Amino acid sequence: MQEYDLIIIGAGPIGMACAIEAKRKNLHYLVIEKGALVNSLYNYPLYMTFFSTAERLEIGQVPFTNISSKPGRQEALEYYRRIHQYFDLNIQFYEEVLSVESKKSLHTIQTSKSTYQAKNIIVATGFYDIPVKLGIPGEDLPKVSHYFKEAHPYAGQKLVVVGANNSSVDAALECWRKGAEVTMVIRKGEIHDRVKYWVKPDIENRIAEGSIKAYFYSNLLSIQEESVTIETPEGILAIENDFVLALTGYRPNFEFLESLGIELSKDGLFIPTYNPETMESNVDGIYLAGVVCGGMETHKWFIENSRVHAEMILGDILEKENRK
């Protein structure tokens, strides 16, 4: 059984930042990633543009040079591939962590391929893997997706987009421009105020002119093979439909966090317990990094404001070692 000073779960930008810091501190570390490098970014829409500027996506003090002020998915993937190569990070890809058993100061990690032991663990698993489901009849039909990749499959089709956040708005606009007949179903009375400032007027104008139909203060009640049923302020109506993009958000893997012994808040936000000065959870030697710290408040942590977690965590690990 291989033993490490540190095992990092997740090879997203923050997991990579932690690995860079571990390497700089000469720790024996390993990153375990169940998918590809920066797997969540890989699964973003093909032509997505980041809200953040390039420098705010940087890790390891390595500049992210980009022609435009706002990099896209392809530029980000290229940057993080270069980071991986430059630092020669020790990452095991396509290996899923199945369980962790913690005894005193040692953690045993069982994965889909092997078993490891580590003195410390950093959980940097993000939140993009688990969609927030609508919980309505028909949600499991093949015509329904909780992820948007590109607009082409929806050209010439009647498409319902659920939600009014960045992902919903981007999908609605791109699909409309590629020839889809787009209808948005929005729970509140307006487009979310966190939508990218250069996109928000665009979607509002398309709705105002009638190019994109929007039902505000409305909910999708059920999905059928050739239609959907919508609850609106004017009553319940059924409209013809070919595809549904239920882009209602994503959440961290709370079940996995609880299996580690990490306590979650009971207020419906499921915010994990951790020390904000060290990022250590209520379980000794298990740390949290990145957006996973926010529970359901996934809008609070980004690459730009959680890069510091790497130095905080590695500083605490080394301080503990020096006290022994």
- Beta-bridge partner residues of 291: none
Mean pLDDT to the nearest integer, 146-175: 97
Confidence class for position 36, pLDDT limits 50, 70, 90: very high
- Output the pLDDT for position 308: 97
- Output the pLDDT for position 180: 98
The phi and psi torsions of 75 (rounded to 5 degrees) equal -65, -40
Mean pLDDT to the nearest integer, 290-306: 94
> How far apart (Å, rounded) are the C-alpha atoms in residues 102 and 318?
20
User: What is the average pLDDT score of the chain?
Assistant: 96
The phi and psi torsions of 140 (rounded to 5 degrees) equal -90, 5
Q: pLDDT for 111-157, tens place per residue?
A: 999 999 999 999 999 999 899 999 999 999 999 999 999 999 999 99
Q: What is the share, in percent, of the chain residues with pLDDT greater than 90?
A: 94
pLDDT > 90? residue 281? yes
The phi and psi torsions of 146 (rounded to 5 degrees) equal -100, 5
- Output the pLDDT for position 158: 98
Q: What are the chain's domains?
A: 2-130+250-323 (3.50.50.60), 133-246 (3.50.50.60)
Q: pLDDT for 192-249, tens place per residue?
A: 999 999 999 999 999 999 999 999 999 999 999 999 999 999 999 999 999 999 999 9
- Greater model confidence, 217 or 67: 217
- Beta-bridge partner residues of 237: 230
- Beta-bridge partner residues of 49: 72
Confidence class for position 98, pLDDT limits 50, 70, 90: very high
Which amino acid belongs to residue 166? N
- Output the pLDDT for position 266: 96
> How far apart (Å, rounded) are the C-alpha atoms in residues 51 and 44?
13
- Output the pLDDT for position 295: 96
- Output the pLDDT for position 75: 96
> How far apart (Å, rounded) are the C-alpha atoms in residues 257 and 288?
10
- Output the pLDDT for position 104: 82
Confidence class for position 69, pLDDT limits 50, 70, 90: confident
Q: What angle do CA 270, 166, 12 make, to 5 degrees?
A: 60
pLDDT > 90? residue 92? yes
pLDDT > 80? residue 57? yes
- Output the pLDDT for position 1: 79
Mean pLDDT to the nearest integer, 33-49: 95
- Output the pLDDT for position 2: 87
pLDDT > 90? residue 323? no
- Output the pLDDT for position 201: 97
> How far apart (Å, rounded) are the C-alpha atoms in residues 309 and 305?
9
Confidence class for position 177, pLDDT limits 50, 70, 90: very high
Which amino acid belongs to residue 254? F
> How far apart (Å, rounded) are the C-alpha atoms in residues 310 and 61?
12
Reduced 3-state DSSP string for the chain: CEEEEEEEECCCHHHHHHHHHHHHCCCCEEEECCCCCCHHHHCCCCCCECCCCHHHHCCCCCCCCCCCCCCEHHHHHHHHHHHHHHHCCCEECCCCEEEEEEECCEEEEEECCCEEEEEEEEECCCCCCEECCCCCCCCCCCCEECCCCCCHHHCCCEEEEECCCHHHHHHHHHHHHCCCEEEEECCCCCCCCCCCCCCHHHHHHHHHCCCCEEECCCEEEEECCCEEEEEECCEEEEEECCEEEECCCEECCHHHHHHCCCCECCCCCCCECECCCCCEECCCCEEECHHHHHCCCCCCCCHHHHCHHHHHHHHHHHHHHHHC
Model confidence, pTM: 0.94
- Output the pLDDT for position 322: 86
